[in-house]
């Protein structure tokens, strides 16, 4: 059973296919220099320097992880403090009820746990996952993006996007093929 998205006739992106990582990296740098900002690259393996070439710098995930870790540490410490001083205080060996050294291991582990969970769920949420269908899947030969081909897409919502002008620019990058992909 296959799922075909309804065709709206609107253009999603202009996509160029490249045969090597070096060609893609060169094309991505030229695309950024040309002024295109709404670009995306699809590769079968990580390409060093590609995010810099595309000028992709998203700092939301590290900040979310920091906030998640701080909340986890606060939760772990507060839970122990409430349990040991208010809910069920026990005098063990004359130690104070609110003892930071004895609370440290659980506080630390809660910080790590909440940071990891925040990282996992924030990456999923910020990437819009799970996504069973995306317009990029309509690109001819896109199934090779996970094997041996490299794709560079300039989205149609880029302020500089012009169907004919963008096609001519991408043809100047010496790709294997250039495709206009519908939504």
Per-residue pLDDT of 92-104, as tens digits, reads 888 888 888 889 9
pLDDT at 21 over 90: yes
Average pLDDT on 40-58 reads 93
**pTM (2 decimals)?**
0.75
Tokens linked to 66: 């920091």
Task: Note whether 24 and 153 are within 8 A (CB).
Answer: no
* Cis omega (within 30 of 0) for bond into 52: no
């Amino acid at each position: 059973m296959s799922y075909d998205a309804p065709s709206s006739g609107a253009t999603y992106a202009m996509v160029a296919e490249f045969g090597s990582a070096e060609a893609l990296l060169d094309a991505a740098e030229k695309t950024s220099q040309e002024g295109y900002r709404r670009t995306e690259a699809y590769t079968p393996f990580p390409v060093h320097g590609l995010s810099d070439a595309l000028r992709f710098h998203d700092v939301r995930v590290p900040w979310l992880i920091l906030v998640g870790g701080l909340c986890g540490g606060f939760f772990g410490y507060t839970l122990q403090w409430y349990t040991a001083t208010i809910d069920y205080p026990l005098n063990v060996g004359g130690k104070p009820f609110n003892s930071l050294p004895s609370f440290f291991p659980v506080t630390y582990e809660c910080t790590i746990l909440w940071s990891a969970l925040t990282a996992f769920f924030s990456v999923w949420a910020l990437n819009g996952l799970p996504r069973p269908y995306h317009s990029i899947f309509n690109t001819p030969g896109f199934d090779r993006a996970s094997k041996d081909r490299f794709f560079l897409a300039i989205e149609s919502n880029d302020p500089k996007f012009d169907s004919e002008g963008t096609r001519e620019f991408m043809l100047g990058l010496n790709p294997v093929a250039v495709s206009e992909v519908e939504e």
